Amino acid sequence: MPLSMLTALEHDIVHQSCRKIVALLAWSSGPVSPKKSTPKAKPQKRDRSEANKQKGGSSGSTSGLLAPLVLSDDLAKFIGTGESMLSRSDVVKRMWVYIKENNLQDPSDRRKIICDEKLKDLFQVESFTGFTVSKLLNPHFTKAK
């Protein structure tokens, strides 16, 4: 019978049997001594700081999700800490803290967020899903120079 026609249980039984046979064959042939090979010379590592300079990247600066962005006045007022620059990930974290503290998740579908007045003023929507938080925040960010 071809292996493709076996049920999952039959396949497991065949697999276990084969493993036992292979283990017995390996044990009966005695200990295997490892082959001695000549060590290869390791290639020298490149200096990454020089590679970044050649590519135009700057070492030590943050980019992507960790880059600080200028917040819109509405978003800065919503966050309420007086900060005018935050990274995208920090803003998303603070949004989730606010959502959970104010119990804004729909009890029947926890992915859905029901906006209170503060969120409605910020996002101009009645409700949204948790996956769209970043999308709704995009208009409130401008790149720092």
Per-domain boundaries in the chain:
1-31, 62-143
Q: Within a 13 Å sphere around the CA of 125, how many CA atoms are in the beta-carbon half?
A: 12
Fold of 62-143: MDM2 (1.10.245)
- Which pLDDT does position 4 carry in this prediction? 63
- Which pLDDT does position 8 carry in this prediction? 79
- Which pLDDT does position 23 carry in this prediction? 80
Q: Rounded mean pLDDT of 118-137? A: 91
Distances (CA, A) of 25 to 13, 21, 29, 55, 64: 19, 6, 6, 55, 54
- Which pLDDT does position 62 carry in this prediction? 66
Q: What is the pTM of this model?
A: 0.56
Element (H, E) at 59: none
Tens of pLDDT, residue by residue over 88-114, are 889 999 999 999 999 999 999 999 999
Tens of pLDDT, residue by residue over 71-87, are 999 999 999 888 889 98
